[in-house]
Amino acid sequence: MMVDVVDTATRSRMMSGIRARNTKPERQIRSLLHRRGFRFRLNVRELPGQPDIVLPRYRAAVFIHGCFWHGHDCPLFKWPHTREDFWRAKIARNRANDARALAALAAQGWRVAVIWECALRGAGRDTDALLQRLALWLQSGEATYFEARV
């Protein structure tokens, strides 16, 4: 087991500063959507999973997932070496909550998009192409699920 490089109080302060809303990836997607003329609501509590972006006109909910917090299988995700049992349980709960929310939204007739942090971060990421694919999916009204990832 690897020892944490900072004390418990410092780690607690650092973790409490991590936001659940208005993250950089969320702001980036919202800005791109708004520039293209899409209008939306944010963090709608009435919907399962409280989607980050809701486009009622297209009956679509968009989740922007952080690769670490949702345990995405990509280069941005690495299992922590401290408190492994805690983190494995936490991330497993997050994944289970995600699956429940997606199923509940689909059952209510909502289309769901999941955009992973890794699709937006890093050199060479083409956010314009990602937004183009998302816009086409929104306007098509066809597929019930859209996912952007590396």
Domain ranges of the chain: 23-148
Q: Say what the pLDDT of residue 57 is.
A: 95
Q: What is the pLDDT of residue 20?
A: 60
Residue 2: the pLDDT is: 55
Mean pLDDT by 10 residues, the chain (150 residues): 68 62 84 93 92 96 92 88 90 95 95 92 78 92 83
pLDDT of residue 121: 81
Residue with tokens 């490089």: 5
Concatenate the DSSP letters of all residues of 61-109 into one string.
EEEEE-TTTTT-SSTT----SSSHHHHHHHHHHHHHHHHHHHHHHHHTT
CB-based contacts of 95: which residues, under 8 Å, 6+ apart? 70, 71
Structure tokens at 23: 């993250």
Give the up-direction half-sphere exposure of residue 88: CA atoms within 13 A in the CB hemisphere. Answer: 5
**What pLDDT is recorded for position 46?**
93
CA 145 to chain CA centroid, nearest Å: 14
The answer to whether the pTM exceeds 0.85 is no
Looking at the domain covering 23-148, what would its CATH class be?
alpha beta
Parallel/antiparallel/unpaired status of strands 111-116 and 145-148: parallel
Radius of gyration of the chain from its Cα atoms, rounded to whole angstroms: 17
